[in-house]
Amino acid sequence: MNGLFRFLLGMGRSLRGNAQQPGRHEQPRTAAEQYYINEANCLEYIEMVDSIILGNIENKNHSLVAENCGELARSHTDLGLLHWRHGLDPRPDFEKGIAAYERMSALAREHQLPKNIAAIPDVYAMLSLMGHKTAIAFEDEDYHRQHRWPCYECCIAHMLHDQPLDEHHTKLLDQYLERNKGRADLTVLTYLQLLGVRPSDLPRDELVKLADANWTRRRGNMFFNGGGPAWFGYGVMNHIYVDIYLAAVLHKIGWDGEGVHRWRW
């Protein structure tokens, strides 16, 4: 990857991700203040990636164009989640995310690009919400052997799209859940219970309450403050985003109760 592109992409990721948290000596921001900061940063990042794409197209760097499109798909998903929690219809943002994803997929097919060119489980959750079922074409299996949360996300994405897990991911999922009992692991276990792939003695509405509480508890959970995107929900971000995986799970199982993570469109 071009060095300048890496710098710009890294800068952009910080704009729409964890760097939005106030510094140690800054006054804590209100949810309203953070919302407008995140929205502006996300729009700026989208504009930046759009301009980078033009240069990579001119240079016929198909691999980088595909990566750029993956970042656009994630950014439009991020923006949609932000607007959703603010009471706005996220579908216009998500539709732009779908267009970027389809462009990336077409490039990958045409130029036989590797499937680890992008890790976009959040985009797959968005596609599920929008009724856009697809095969899970992009994932990084080697990375999943070392990091359990990306593995969890990948497994959830497969389930949302009715795609069977391979033996490798099935084994990893079982091992990670057996060995780890933190907030992240309990969060994923609740998703799986709602999907009916892990047993639970709780009725569905109680599981939904538990899943919602898991989201709220992310505010002070350091696992979700490890450099991930803002929509992980740490700190004030918990008040301005929805849990995209919970939302997609609730939509898939047809839950029609009330809550901030319910898909209403």
What string of DSSP letters covers 92-108? Answer: HHHHHHHHHHHHHHHHH
* Helical residues (DSSP H) of 19-61, grouped into ranges: 31-58
Rounded-to-integer distance, Cα 44 and Cα 26, Å:
23
What pLDDT is attached to residue 26? Answer: 61
Closest C-alpha among 172, 259, 263, 175 to residue 215: 259
Rounded-to-integer distance, Cα 242 and Cα 19, Å:
19
What pLDDT is attached to residue 228? Answer: 87
- Sequence-distant (6+) residues with CB within 8 A of 87 are none
Handedness of CA 86, 92, 98, 104 (dihedral sign): negative
CA 84 from centroid of its chain's CA atoms: 14
What pLDDT is attached to residue 13? Answer: 44
* Helical residues (DSSP H) of 196-258, grouped into ranges: 204-217, 244-253
Average pLDDT, consecutive stretches of 10 residues, N- to C-terminus, the chain (265 residues)? 42 41 61 97 97 95 97 98 98 98 97 94 98 94 94 98 96 98 97 98 97 97 88 96 98 96 96
What pLDDT is attached to residue 226? Answer: 67
What pLDDT is attached to residue 24? Answer: 47
Q: How far is residue 192 from each of residues 43, 196, 197, 227, measured CA to CA in Å?
A: 33, 6, 5, 25
Contact between 31 and 239 (Cβ < 8 Å): yes
Query: Is the model's pTM score more than 0.85?
Result: yes
* CA triple 186-192-195, angle to 5 deg: 145
Sorted by where each begins, the domain ranges of the chain are 3-253
What pLDDT is attached to residue 196? Answer: 97
Q: How far is residue 264 from each of residues 90, 162, 170, 260, measured CA to CA in Å?
A: 10, 22, 32, 10
What pLDDT is attached to residue 171? Answer: 97
